[in-house]
Structure 1
Amino acid sequence: MKWSSVAVASGLFTSSNALLRFGCSQLTVQRLDPLVNPGLIPSTHLHQIIGGNSFNASMDIKTHDLPTVSTCTTCQFTEDFSNYWTAVLYFKAKNGTYKRVPQRAQQGMEGTNGGMVVYYMSDALFDTAQKSSVTAFKPGFRMLVGDVTYTTRDQARDFRQLTYTCMQNEGTRSPEYVDFPKTTCPSGIMINHRFPTCWDGVNLDSPNHRDHVAYPESGTFESGGPCPSTHPVKIPQILLETVWDTKQFNNKADWPADGSQPFVWSSGDGTGFANHADYVFGWKGDSLQKHLDSHSYVTASTLKTQTIAQQNKCTVKDMVGENFDGWLTKLPGDIMA
């Protein structure tokens, strides 16, 4: 599906300046993937999903309007019915069995059931001015970052800033690595997904869910690098932060006999280079644009909030019906890592 190219040529996009940071509790954990495996129940590997409760195996770009068909959201702002999802992290023990790693809330969001913290930025996170102009996403927009088949650093260079942080305490945000940490992490592993920030201005999606978006042609998003001519429209950077509570797995006696790091994605990847995330836009009306136009930093006076207890109540039914907890001999989908 396409957005009118006339809008790009005639400058009809509204530009804006702002940063938004908010928490979303867990909506569901299931083998569903409406982008890569639309209609397939179950999908190839397990995902953890946040956002609006219209999430399901089939979310057709022409008919599935998230704000219309959702009745609740797990996100702090009630106007955000978007869906965001990533693969699930597992611990692989010395005996070859697997156990799902729980997610935990960040400081100040205690009580949140798993989930992630979401950012929308027009400039680097540390830039309180947020002066750059960006264009809000359009209804039906969706994208994917990362590649589930990647297993090497050279392959992973296709994507920027899909990283891992070994948290020493609650405030740890650096250094960031592109593969799994090799040592124990006292406060867990934070995994960061930063999406591309340039759009072709026409297509709401593409066959691989990536070609309609791009990174700056030089420099980075943080340095204000320009968008390429093929993707001239600057969009907000979405950053997802997921804290995986690995503390219960910090006994190295339970790690592989060769001392290698023990964590694997639910897709079976043990390198970390298959890190990936999906996004389907679902903000109600022009609520995201209005916020961006407010030029605010973190605060969101134009948006409505709900309590963490209300966020936690929003769920979807189990559409797959499989066990993914406890100690497993194989990852869900009969995957071996």
Structure 2
Amino acid sequence: MSSIFGTPDFDSPRLDGMSSFEYLNRSTREAAARIRCATGEWLSRYPASERDRLISRIRSYDDVEHYSAYFELILHEVLIQRGCRVEVELQLGTNERCPDFLVYPPNARRFVLEAVTASGISDEMRSKRRYLSEILRAIDEIPESKYSLFLRWKGFPDNNPSLKSLISKLRQWLECLEPNSADEKFEWQCPGLSLEVVAMPRSKPGTRLIGAKMPELTQVRAKYDIARRVRDKAGAYGDLSMPFVVAVNSLDTRADGSDFLDALLGSEAALPCELADGNFGYVSTRMPDGVFYGKGGPKNTRVSAVIGTCCLTPWHLAQSLKLIKHPNARHPLRRLPLRASTPLRSDDDRWRRAPAVAQLLGLTSSSPS
């Protein structure tokens, strides 16, 4: 097995701009050590032929790729813990492509499982966010103990800016700053980004220069990204002649189960109707704009079901898995070997209780830590 982690040498909280893998790899925290240990155990049960490729993705400094690899590893481990036999990256379907897993549950029909991560971020925006992270990390590493900085920004840098010029100007501003000058601001711009900095005197020395951040507010679009990821996979493998399940991990911290229901079954709506007593009221329904239903009726019927979860990472395993079946699937999923939560009704977002992923993994807490 390829080496996964190096020697831990970082004993501070995660810095701005530090990738998830870099922090996990370098952190001396006990929580990080336990995650590294669990990762090794999970990988030991992953097929050897595909192990090195997955390790390479886990080691990625791109957080989306890193979390995507961990999502696949966690799903594989949960299936193994539930007594399934799992084959990885087999050529299947009429399109002769390779989905993630072919799952053989005990006493149930085999099915294909594809794991996807819904980041809500385009490749271009991921680059811009990486540029911003590099700016924030450079600021956070300025050796300054007298002030704590409050940062506010609008937009994202279009390209990789000159950090040397920014840090030089910011340090000069901090050195010339008068105590209790709360009204003074440092302003800096580059193509696509406007940055504003306010310095507040520290009551005691600290290790981090950035004390608080206020990014530009963005619209919640989790359901659209979930829908896009499922649609992308719906016909990717052609006819598989067996149930096809898409597992989606939304990395949007504001996403919840209602986003999955809206994405798959259609947006919630209230239609006026005449009640039994002759008065008018409203009945809950869903619009024909979901992945499973459109104006022409059922669609994407090759998808038998979707397993959904939000922000599932090796650090956060307290979430349960949510299962939404396609009512008109070409190959219906009769049984799922995972103890997933299902909606009480299709027209609201109440869910039946299910165990956390940590429990499915046999852990005693919500993470390996």
Which structure features the higher share of helix residues?
Answer: 2
TM-score range, shorter chain: under 0.3
TM superposition score normalised by structure 1: 0.23
TM, length-normalised to structure 2: 0.22
Larger Cα-atom Rg: 2
